[in-house]
Amino acid sequence: MARTGSALVIAAVLFASRAHAEVEFTMQADVEKVGTEDTFRLEIVVGNAPDGAALRAPDSSNFEILGRSESSQMSYSMGPGGAGVMNQVRKFTLTMRANETGMQVIPPAKLTFGGKTMTTNPVTIQVVKGRLQPERPRRAQPPNPFGFPPGFRLPPGFGPDLDDEPQAPPSQPFDGDEPVVPRGDSDLFMRMSADKTDVYVGEQVMITIHLYSRVDLSSVDGVTMPKLDGFLSQDFKSPSQLNSTQRVIGGVPYREFLLRQKAVFPLKPGTATIDAPEADITTGSILYTGRRVHRKGNELKLNVKTLPPGPANAIVGRWRLSREVSQTEVALGEPVQVKLTLEGRGNLQSVTLPPLNPPAAFRAFDPEVADKPNNSRSHVGGTRVVEYTLVPQQTGSFVLPEIVVPYFDPETRKYDEMRVDDITITVRPGTGGANVIGTPGPTNNTLDGPKNQLVGGGLKSLRHTAKFSAPPRPLSALPWFLPVALAPVVLSMLAAAFAFARNSLGQRSPESLKKREARAARKRLAAAEKLLSGGSTTAFYEEVERALSGFMTAKLGTPTTGLTRAQLTSKLVDARVAEADRARILAVLDLCDLGRYAPGMGEASARRKAIDDAAAAMEGWS
């Protein structure tokens, strides 16, 4: 920051004049009335100054100098009697701002040469508080020092061309939002802006942090972002290098650097305050070393409004929903893929889609969710894909219900809804004419669709044709009957004697018992081991399930094939099986179901995991 009170002296490097050229010295402001937040230009014109002349700018603490520029022009003309006259004019332009209101006087400028001092007239300006309209009254231009005829266009730097308003800055982040230049740090300052300050809950607000500089910058060493309590936020732009664009603020040229840009979404109504950002900046360039400075920006206040009355579960943004079904006619047990796709603009992270709600005759596995952000020029958004795997458990025609999702569009300020129509899926009998799947797993006793259907080939004939023959000879009359009948008894006695002898010599260790149970479990999985590196995926998981079911049948003493999940759990609880062991067994059965239908379960690693989990479930059940 510089003030005219600093007694700015412009060294006398003015060219020497030629014969009969008179010294001209004037000072003029381009406005008569100005606001304290406006800038204006003070022009000092020196014509035909002699060698050694020194110019002293006006001295006043009521005005601040924001920028300086200088231009010069030379011409040659024929004077009286044919003598040549060299005219030299220099124009000094000061961009200034008033610090005090009222009728303020800019003192005269002074030009000293040859022991003489020339002064200009003082300039009086009316200063009011705030900012005036862009179109301000201007005083007439100073007289043409060269005496060119009317209509003659002067070279750049002179005359009305220099007095034109500066060109509009290219591609400002938010049109009409001109940053306020601070009085203390006008050469280098930070500003945070928002594309809107009156928003709804959940509506996007783009905040941008810029650095404005009229000095060379070496680096921005750190940017401290404000805390965004009460907001959801998403990074939009975070440049890794300093790139500047030209920006004219109040008639003063600046270089504008983008530091950060974030999209924020307010979570609750009321007045929300975003604290000021801060940054450590090193000035200078590759040619000279500057200094390290700290700058703090401005805070922002947002007026966050409650959404208008409408659906309670509405999401905010502009969205579109679609649904795809892999097939609408399937055989019993064949998987159906259902894909929900949501795309649009808004905070994708906060969106929650309603559940699919398939018919009870379908078994639904946990969906796979994939988000893909896709930001436009000024909005965040993206695509969310939710994919379900459904396996029909019963034949018939079933309806996937429609899905309706309401949303509030902040651009139109109206509610709308996304809707996908219902879809009918027809399930035909599976292999062997089966109409119902009876595998372990959760089932619903109130399945939709036909009931009391014939299974397999239907009822068979009740009549049977008998064949009569003579009764066979009793086994006890055969000669080998007695030795064979006594053999099990003898073998049992020998086995008991052997076991008694081994137990007498030493007790079994827990490690040996675990190894024995592990060997027995692995033997049950021998058929599945053969399909580990090849063969049908369905056949592999059926063998694993069959081995585990056989193991449970042996341990429980009752068949377990065909039991529902609830029935199986009840039998395990009655047998006092530990909760951890029950969880492992049920997890393996779920894995077998998933392996038959889900993609990627035929890989060697997935098969090995299934065998290991099954063996661990059997080994852990003591």
The answer to whether residue 365 sits within a structural domain is yes
Please tell me whether residues 338 and 223 are part of one structural domain. no
pLDDT in tens, 170-192: 333 333 457 888 877 788 999 99
Please tell me whether residues 18 and 157 are part of one structural domain. yes
Q: What is the pLDDT of residue 390?
A: 92
Calculate mean pLDDT across residues 113-140: 76
Q: What is the pLDDT of residue 150?
A: 40
Q: What is the pLDDT of residue 622?
A: 60
pLDDT at residue 261 above 50?
yes
pLDDT at residue 514 above 60?
no
The answer to whether residue 450 sits within a structural domain is no
Please tell me whether residues 238 and 337 are part of one structural domain. no
Residue 97: C-alpha distances to residues 32, 36, 38, 61, 590 (Å): 13, 7, 6, 11, 77
Please tell me whether residues 237 and 339 are part of one structural domain. no
Please tell me whether residues 540 and 604 are part of one structural domain. yes
Residue 378: C-alpha distances to residues 136, 145, 244, 262, 348 (Å): 34, 51, 19, 10, 15
Q: What is the pLDDT of residue 443?
A: 41
pLDDT at residue 508 above 70?
no
The answer to whether residue 439 sits within a structural domain is no
Residue 613 domain boundaries: 496-620
Q: What is the pLDDT of residue 176?
A: 45
The answer to whether residue 482 sits within a structural domain is no
Q: What is the pLDDT of residue 171?
A: 34
Q: What is the rounded CA–CA span in Å between residue 28 and residue 96?
A: 13
Please tell me whether residues 522 and 583 are part of one structural domain. yes
Query: Which residue is it, tokens 């056989």?
Result: 550
The backbone torsions φ and ψ at residue 18, rounded to the nearest 5 degrees and listed phi first, read -105, -175
pLDDT at residue 456 above 60?
no
Please tell me whether residues 197 and 296 are part of one structural domain. yes
The answer to whether residue 454 sits within a structural domain is no
pLDDT in tens, 44-78: 998 888 877 888 888 788 888 877 777 877 665 65
| Mean per-residue pLDDT of the chain | 78
Please tell me whether residues 294 and 319 are part of one structural domain. no
Residue 328's nearest CA partner among 239, 421, 450 is 421
Binning pLDDT at 50, 70 and 90, where does residue 216 land? confident
Q: What is the pLDDT of residue 77?
A: 60
The answer to whether residue 448 sits within a structural domain is no
pLDDT at residue 12 above 90?
no
Q: What is the pLDDT of residue 302?
A: 94
| Contact of 98 with 106, CB cutoff 8 Å | no
pLDDT in tens, 13-47: 343 334 446 788 899 999 999 988 888 889 999 88
Q: What is the rounded CA–CA span in Å between residue 37 and residue 66?
A: 12
Radius of gyration of the chain (CA): 46
pLDDT in tens, 106-119: 999 998 888 888 89
The answer to whether residue 485 sits within a structural domain is no
Domain boundary among 261, 277, 305: 305
CATH number at residue 576: 1.20.120
pLDDT at residue 208 above 80?
yes
Residue 558: C-alpha distances to residues 219, 324, 577, 582, 592 (Å): 78, 44, 15, 17, 21
- According to DSSP, the residues that pair with 387 across neighbouring strands are 339, 368
The answer to whether residue 310 sits within a structural domain is no
Please tell me whether residues 33 and 143 are part of one structural domain. yes
Percent of the chain with pLDDT over 90: 25
The backbone torsions φ and ψ at residue 236, rounded to the nearest 5 degrees and listed phi first, read -115, -50
pLDDT at residue 426 above 90?
yes
Q: What is the pLDDT of residue 18?
A: 42
pLDDT at residue 167 above 60?
no
Q: What is the pLDDT of residue 415?
A: 93
Tally of domains in the chain: 4
Q: What is the pLDDT of residue 6?
A: 42
CATH number at residue 50: 2.60.40
Q: What is the pLDDT of residue 341?
A: 94
pLDDT at residue 466 above 80?
no
Please tell me whether residues 502 and 555 are part of one structural domain. yes
Please tell me whether residues 322 and 301 are part of one structural domain. no
Domain boundary among 431, 451, 481: 431
pLDDT at residue 237 above 50?
yes
CATH number at residue 217: 2.60.40.10
Collapse the DSSP code of 582 into the 3-class scheme (helix H, G, I; strand E, B; otherwise coil) and give the result. helix
Please tell me whether residues 159 and 234 are part of one structural domain. no
Calculate mean pLDDT across residues 159-165: 36
Domain boundary among 128, 163, 198: 163
**CB contact burial 277-295 (16+ within 10 A = b; e otherwise):** bebebebeeeeeeeeeeeb
| Contact of 443 with 361, CB cutoff 8 Å | no
Angle between helices 537-556 and 565-574 (to 10 degrees): 30
Calculate mean pLDDT across residues 436-459: 48
Binning pLDDT at 50, 70 and 90, where does residue 563 land? confident
pTM for the model stands at 0.47
Q: What is the pLDDT of residue 191?
A: 92
Q: What is the pLDDT of residue 615?
A: 86
**CB contact burial 374-409 (16+ within 10 A = b; e otherwise):** eeeeebbbbebbbbbbbbbbbbbebebeebebebbb
